[in-house]
Structure 1
Amino acid sequence: MNILIIGAGGVGIELATSVASQKADISIYARGKTANAIRKNGIKRTGLFEHHKIRDVPVYETYEEIPKKHFDYIFIASKTTANDDISENLNRNRDILKDTTKIIIFQNGFGNDEPYLKYFTKKQVFCGRVITGASRPERHISEVTIHTDILLGSLQGENPECLREIADLINRSDISCEITREIDKYLWAKMLYNCTLNPLGAILDRTYGQLTENPYTLEIMNNIIDEIFEVIKASPYETLWQSSHEYKDIFYSKLVPDTYNHYSSTHQDIQKKIPTEIDSLNGKVIQLGEKYNTDIGNNKLIYNLIKAIEITF
């Protein structure tokens, strides 16, 4: 099985190392210092799971270098801000793909399949739900500190059983991975968590847990959650809870305490002064809220604050 991983951050290297440890042939699209580090050292997965190290990993810095008609799967593990560029490049260089190649998107946010569906069919484009804390102590290493089961499915109603071999590979590397026909429910569960915590923690320079100890941030978070539930109810999508009240119970009693000391990826992006993934998070809530005529005022305020910070970079 030949797999191309686009995006060599913590999640990309974690996935690449996991499937390569089970004898999949992997290649990585990366650039600059990251590409050089992988060429020199290979890739390594450390942290919560069995440690794996893979040497002699092919690395490509341009799409023109990538072998033609070679890959069975393409994993998209980049920041969502790169999706337009990646989808356009894959379309321009679509001879990289076989007729049967499948694209699996492992990213934060919702609707990340849309840029790829401009060029590829519903039978080719799938989504993965990944909840992980994966840092890079070095450019070629993924250190996994937080993890929940990976889920694979289609937002377009396609049968995800065609991804069974990928789920089996990841499972054999000690990371639980399942197939689901309800990927939208799980992606919206992640959206509820990320949209509520990520931008607010970045704006205020606070951990997830610290946000729950302030009555003013609690009110903002509760309003964001209420708005997202109204958007979900008005849209064709569903999530795992029937009401915002039901979700808040588990959010404050279980989800936030388990990640009390965590700083969000949005916080890390702001600290590095690079664009965030806010358009795929609260930006998507705003887009759907405007489409279905629901109140998204709190989401819009948080979104605008992040954009106001980004514009200074």
Structure 2
Amino acid sequence: MKIAIIGTGAMGCLFAAHLYDAADVVMVGNWPEQLAAIQQNGLSLEGVNGRFTHHPIRATNNPHDAAPVDLAIVLTKSWQTTQTAQLVHKVLAPDGVALTLQNGLGNLEKLTAVLGPTHATLGTTSAGANIVKPGHVRFAGHGVTHIATTNATAHIIKPLVEILNQKGLETHISNEVDSLIWGKLVINAGINPLTALLRVPNGFLAENPITRAIMAAAAKEVEAVAHKLGIQLPYPDAAKRTLAVAQATAPNRSSMLQDVLRGAPTEIEAICGEVVKNGRLANTPTPINQQLLKLVQSISDSPMTIAELQQIMKI
């Protein structure tokens, strides 16, 4: 199988490294320093146990150098998806499939608008990774990946799931698309904004009573909106699940925190912004998510304190 990883950030590197030995893998992105490091020295993956593995993966900023591929795994930021869809269109083989593992809502719709509904599917992953420096990624926490499939995508997705499980990334097939994406949205809304505002790893949120309370409240709001929309989450308790993920990925710096630390745009609109928007449509209040949205949109160069956050959130 020929696979293009679209995006050269931490998660793109994590999946590329795990797939390298089992498929023909090429990374496609536009981060100059990362591309140069991988092209010159390959990709180094630092495991959870501290052990390093080296992967001489191909990397390019030209989609034509990667085409045609059987599978494109999309791991760019959600605000880049419209542009990314055009890139994916250039790299996919005629019977190829695009798989989005991105955060937030709306990514699959943007891909299918360009590729057609039979050439795209979605998944979620709670695995964590951090960029240490260009060409060096650290596996920050084991998680579970769920991928939706249909008759049109099964010829690609089923072999992919087998490969990922063989390579140590626990992966399952699911046909509950809405459940998958809203289940991940709960986690993103509960964890990512707080880590970005406070500049802390995931585990801090589980240890502090104030952040635990805010994290739970944000998760419960997403759960309430999903319930009102008739969407059943893939777990019985949103707050407990979010806490469990924060604990399981304790050393991890969320993608939103990494964005803030390097001065890049965040995905807050695709996460809390979508919760607020859907809450209005469902006539369900989402004050915690609305406040997190505003705070991240106007984030400062200095981290907030717990006291400041508690005063604003009134928790």
TM (norm. structure 2) is 0.83
| Residue 160 of structure 2 is aligned to residue 170 of structure 1 | no
Query: C-alpha distance in 2, partners of 1:41/1:72?
Result: 26
Match of 1:292 in 2: 282
Report the identity percentage: 22
Match of 2:309 in 1: none
1:302-313 alignment runs, 5 A limit: 302-309=292-299
Shift of 1:187: 3.3
Match of 1:37 in 2: 37
Match of 1:232 in 2: 226
Match of 1:149 in 2: 144
Match of 2:103 in 1: 108
Query: C-alpha distance in 1, partners of 2:230/2:66?
Result: 39
Structure 2: give runs of 5+ residues left out of the alignment.
303-315
Q: Is the Cα–Cα contact under 8 Å of residues 159 and 181 in structure 1 kept in the other structure? A: no
Moved over 6 A (4+): none
Query: C-alpha distance in 1, partners of 2:85/2:295?
Result: 28
For 2:254, give the aligned amino acid. Answer: S
Q: 3-state DSSP class of the match of 2:159?
A: helix
Query: C-alpha distance in 2, partners of 1:169/1:143?
Result: 21
TM (norm. structure 1) is 0.84
Q: 2:154 aligns with which of 155, 161, 166?
A: 161
| Residue 78 of structure 2 is aligned to residue 87 of structure 1 | no
Q: For residues 18-64 of structure 1, what are the alpha-carbon distances to aligned partners after superposition, in whole Å with 9 as ceiling and x for unaligned?
A: 22211x11111133111111111122333038854332x3322133x
Shift of 1:153: 0.9
Gap change, CA 1:221 and 1:67, over 3 Å in 2: closer
| Residue 239 of structure 2 is aligned to residue 248 of structure 1 | yes
| Residue 199 of structure 2 is aligned to residue 205 of structure 1 | yes
Query: C-alpha distance in 2, partners of 1:264/1:223?
Result: 19
Shift of 1:240: 2.7
For 1:27, give the aligned amino acid. Answer: V
Match of 2:71 in 1: 73
1:112-131 alignment runs, 5 A limit: 112-131=107-126
Q: For residues 143-188 of structure 1, what are the alpha-carbon distances to aligned partners after superposition, in whole Å with 9 as ceiling and x for unaligned?
A: 212011222115xx66763311111122222222221112433433
Q: 3-state DSSP class of the match of 2:83?
A: helix
Query: C-alpha distance in 1, partners of 2:221/2:153?
Result: 30
Q: 3-state DSSP class of the match of 1:113?
A: helix
Q: Is the Cα–Cα contact under 8 Å of residues 270 and 310 in structure 1 kept in the other structure? A: no
| Residue 94 of structure 2 is aligned to residue 99 of structure 1 | yes
Query: C-alpha distance in 1, partners of 2:171/2:207?
Result: 34
For 1:3, give the aligned amino acid. Answer: I
Match of 2:272 in 1: 282
Shift of 1:197: 2.1
Gap change, CA 1:306 and 1:168, over 3 Å in 2: same
Q: 3-state DSSP class of the match of 1:136?
A: strand
Query: C-alpha distance in 2, partners of 1:232/1:196?
Result: 15
CA-atom RMSD, angstroms?
2.7
Query: C-alpha distance in 1, partners of 2:214/2:13?
Result: 35
Gap change, CA 1:71 and 1:184, over 3 Å in 2: same
Shift of 1:309: 2.1
Structure 1: give runs of 5+ residues left out of the alignment.
none
